[in-house]
Structure 1
């Protein structure tokens, strides 16, 4: 029986290697990857396998779904790290990895004691949805972190633009000077992209509109709308940007105040579930020992 199982495992490995070799021959060679940013360590490890399946997935992807994934990758700051089809392949590889880990833990669950068997089976089955959902969870967290940095750094950009415009520069020249003096971060990356697009012939209105769609931050959309409105009506742009910067800081202060007010409610559940039981045990256990030694418990039992 063991020899038969071993034979099936070897046959499965051979078939998998033959399939990978066939996919490698069909993969288009000579692709230029100079456009990519530095890849994360985990993606660098799995990228050779991802590349074998990516072009097959790309041929079958729905255009609307591709655009949706592209937008999410750009919002997470990884639009120049991986393509949408590579993200889909990574998600499927996570599912396969979860299934493999589940199958590896199942024999251990069968040999475990009856008290641990159900827990090990539940842990093994948990690897399957975790492997499938991990890429999406990682991307969602990347989007939230990046949007938080944009909301934090964007008022500083507006202040720099206002200062340079008050010194006599136009909005386009002030934007270039401000971007060069920004600290490294998502705002600097996005504004440099806006400058590149305007230099290649894209109108400033369209470049700013793309910026608002890429970031998905309401503060950026409001500023872009205010700039477009000022250009249409001939309003004073420096004053509008200064008021927008003050408004963004006020909104950030209100968000921080709201989170501070929510903190006690969020701490209530860990306090009730963890701290109170421990405190109760520390107080009651010595009393229980004394009552047992003195024979007081015999009166109740």
Structure 2
């Protein structure tokens, strides 16, 4: 009788697992194919979990609020990842990372016999990781643009002073530069102008995609010079020099902040080791002397 009950239990568990597996298969297979020909390939960590992110993003789309959608869309634009992800992909990745880290942490913590409350911390980190990653990419992108913009402007100045128009000069600078965020922004500027967007509006759109005062000052100066009919050569040369000065000031600021940032590692790690190396021989000598 007991063996019969065990067999029935195994059959029931197998049927339940089969039903759950079948429902998951239906959940994933019923998602229509997404047209990603115009989108770039996601980063590695997102790519390996894309088979989960894709169906979840499809099902949660009706529940995404407009406010939340606009907030994440701005972060995607500032990070330069709007050609990789949509808003629904980021929200779905928050859910997937949270559940994945929760599952992995439960397995590891159970194996190590630790408190399961750590799993909650891992799950929370997984939920906020996509937005932390977007913030990191935004800062990295801004640093690259601010570092490259003076040289980029120098190329545009040379072309403008050689007789080209501003748009043709930007086109030459884009064609002669490497694939960087700076080139990407000016390429989008050219694309907007070719689509019929007024030049001033295209410049404002470019400054809105880079949330930094330097880019906003640059675009404002170009728009004002064109509206007043001024020669763009001296304006752009002055902007390039100003960007170089700002870059030097940022480097000087970071150099002045370095000693303060090094204070905690010195106090927490280096000083204790130094005191141990110096104090232990003294302790041994004093111990021997008193004995």
Question: Is 2:84 aligned against 1:60?
Answer: no
Give 2:32's aligned residue: 28
CA contact (8 A) 1:151 1:217 kept: no
Give 2:21's aligned residue: 17
CA distance in 1, matches of 2:101, 2:77: 27
| Partner residue of 2:181 out of 186, 197, 204 | 186
Question: Is 2:212 aligned against 1:217?
Answer: yes
CA distance in 1, matches of 2:16, 2:213: 51
User: Cα 1:123–1:284, aligned 2, differ >3 Å: closer, same or farther?
Assistant: farther
Give 2:78's aligned residue: 75
CA contact (8 A) 2:52 2:96 kept: no
Farther off after superposition, 250-259 or 154-163: 154-163
After superposition, residues 189-268 of structure 1 pair within 5 angstroms as 189-268=184-263
User: Cα 1:287–1:236, aligned 2, differ >3 Å: closer, same or farther?
Assistant: same
CA distance in 1, matches of 2:248, 2:9: 64
Q: CA RMSD in A?
A: 2.4
After superposition, residues 77-226 of structure 1 pair within 5 angstroms as 77-110=80-113, 117=114, 123-226=118-221
Farther off after superposition, 172-181 or 12-21: 12-21
Q: CA deviation at 1:5?
A: 11
Helix, strand or coil: the match of 1:37? Answer: coil
Give 1:299's aligned residue: none
CA contact (8 A) 2:149 2:182 kept: yes
CA distance in 1, matches of 2:64, 2:12: 34
Q: CA deviation at 1:7?
A: 8.9
Farther off after superposition, 131-140 or 83-92: 131-140
What residue ranges of structure 1 are gaps of 5+ in the alignment?
A: 111-116, 297-301
CA distance in 1, matches of 2:9, 2:169: 71
CA contact (8 A) 2:79 2:135 kept: yes
CA distance in 2, matches of 1:236, 1:281: 68
Farther off after superposition, 234-243 or 63-72: 63-72
CA contact (8 A) 2:145 2:182 kept: yes
Farther off after superposition, 70-79 or 276-285: 70-79
CA distance in 1, matches of 2:198, 2:13: 60
Give 2:46's aligned residue: 43
Equivalent pairs counted in the alignment come to 285
User: Cα 1:195–1:280, aligned 2, differ >3 Å: closer, same or farther?
Assistant: same
Q: CA deviation at 1:15?
A: 5.2
What residue ranges of structure 2 are gaps of 5+ in the alignment?
A: 1-5
TM-score (norm 1): 0.86
Q: CA deviation at 1:122?
A: 6.2
CA distance in 2, matches of 1:232, 1:210: 17
